[in-house]
Chain A
Amino acid sequence: MDLKVDARKCTGCRICEFACNYHQDETISSIGSSLMFYFEEKKNYYGMMVKRAKTLYLGRPEGEQLLKPGEQIEGAGASAKPILLRVACDCCEDEDDGPLCVRACPYGVLSLEG
């Protein structure tokens, strides 16, 4: 199973990041999340990145993109770099009611596939 992002439904509320962080270390923050919002504010260009076990998944408004280690993250900007140090998404396997980010999102942006 993998987490999937429908970036065109996203409104940038970012609660998914904080929900993921809560799953990872039981606090509310964004720095330990496997998800990362990336944002070029003046262009209002935004989407979500997901750190997977062996790849980096980009949910961009133009479409999805999957990057392997070492591949260039085109256009993700400086705000994207810290995700490479993050814990990989485990799809909240130990959560009875499913991934916390999926539950927290008000807009149906996130889902599991596979």
Chain B
Amino acid sequence: MELMNNYKETILIVDLDAKQCDTESLSEDMVAAGLGGAGITAALYERYKDRDPLIIGTGFFTGTFMPGGCAGVVSAKSPVSGKLCHVPFGGYAAVELKLTGFDFVVVLGSSDSPVRLWLHDGLSDIDDASDIWGKDVWDSVDKIREAYGDEMIQLLVIGPSAEAQSKAAQFSVNYWGSFDKAALGAVFGAKKLKAIALRGLDSLDVAEGFFGACVDLKNAICSGAISGKSGLKDIARDIGIDAGAIEKLASMTHRNNAAYNCPYAAAAFVKYNEAPSAMDMKGHPAPGCLITDIRGFAALHGAGLDAGQAMEQCFRQGIEPEAAAKAGKTEGVSADAGKAAAFSTAVPASIFGSGQGDAWWQKRQALAAVLGIDPMLMVMAPEITEEKIVALVQMSAEWDEFSADELNRIAADVIAKSA
């Protein structure tokens, strides 16, 4: 096994009680046992569960040429379900985490004052965050980027809702919320951890032939089930979202965005403060927001709210949109929407005819969370077969012994530990 093609081989342990950081090696034994992502965060959770761990992990393929290799996972005991939940996060944040030099971050205990974690260039700093505690997510992102002098910094950050440890809270990836339906944002809040700021300028090695194999898979995906489909609106149509909400989304969509190395652009940037067609950079400083959670958007529309602006308010406050829709408001929401589960219920059971039932969906989500593949893509791209995954794990890590049986064992183990 050759770890350096997939990992930086380092786990960061952050002790907020003592305000100290330490590292340990990511060993071949840990990768053999859990492969990556939730396969390893679940093991770390077991090891540290008496200290309320919040664990952020990258997947085996996060930041590689594997199509959809954008995702990381936040694992913790949900304040809603009381069980271990794995919430995916994407965009560029998980790639940025791996390239900081840390594959996994284990946050233990809680701070007695607000802090933010700043990870960069193999370094970890626990910095005071009293200047942004109480501020909304958007202001916090701006102030952290300004403080560290880099607008490309990626963030996992919370707003006032999570600071108050609301069960309606979610953590946010930069400005735009997340797939957190399990209130893991409130775990950040309980630890007084306002944000984890990431800037990674490191690199990974690449196995011989891996780039070409990934391009072949990307081409197969693009000519497969997603062919002819475009953007979040086509996903919304396919999964039966209310026509009025789809019309609202389509009328405001500016561009469709993709997470790192994703062959389907599943996020829609909607504009409501200027014309959606405006492409010039000299427009409104905050013309709209990025929608990834179509069910949240549709729920707000169904609650009679202006869905675009209501999503912005949810993002700013750090509130899970379906919880806000249930409450009929976007501030002071305290109850969750009843959507917490081991894997994020923001991901539909079937997209473009892929669905094969609950057990299939759960296994695809477990594999996404282990491998660091976009969880939506894992549902909509049947071309990412388990046979192909095994072959690419073998190739990438120069690990001929890795087998389909091992992949099945790891997925089943993650599901069992989160049940």
Which residues on A are within 8 Å of B, measured CB to CB? 8, 11-15, 18-19, 21-22, 25-29, 31, 39-45, 60-62, 75, 77-79, 97, 100, 103-104, 106-107
Contact = CB atoms under 8 A, between A and B. Distances in A.
B255 A44 contact: yes
B206 A28 contact: yes
Interface in B240-297: 254-265, 269, 271, 279-288, 290
B204 interface: yes
Contacts of A104: 65, 211, 215, 218
Nearest to B201: A31
Q: Is the interface of B mostly helix, strand, loop or mixed?
A: loop
B102 interface: no
A43 B218 contact: no
Contacts of A44: 254-255, 257, 269, 271, 287-288, 290
Contacts of B201: 29, 31
B257 A11 contact: yes
Contact of A79 (B151, B212, B258, B286): B151
B202 interface: yes
Interface residues of B, number: 49
Contact of A14 (B67, B212, B261): B261
Interface of B: 63-65, 67, 92, 99, 138, 150-152, 174-175, 201-206, 211-212, 215, 218, 221-222, 254-265, 269, 271, 279-288, 290
A26 B210 CA distance: 11
Contact of A43 (B203, B205, B222, B283): B283
A42 B288 CA distance: 8
23 contacts: A11-B258, A11-B265, A13-B259, A13-B260, A13-B262, A14-B92, A14-B260, A15-B260, A18-B261, A28-B205, A28-B206, A29-B203, A39-B151, A42-B138, A42-B285, A42-B286, A43-B286, A62-B280, A104-B65, A104-B218, A106-B221, A106-B263, A106-B264
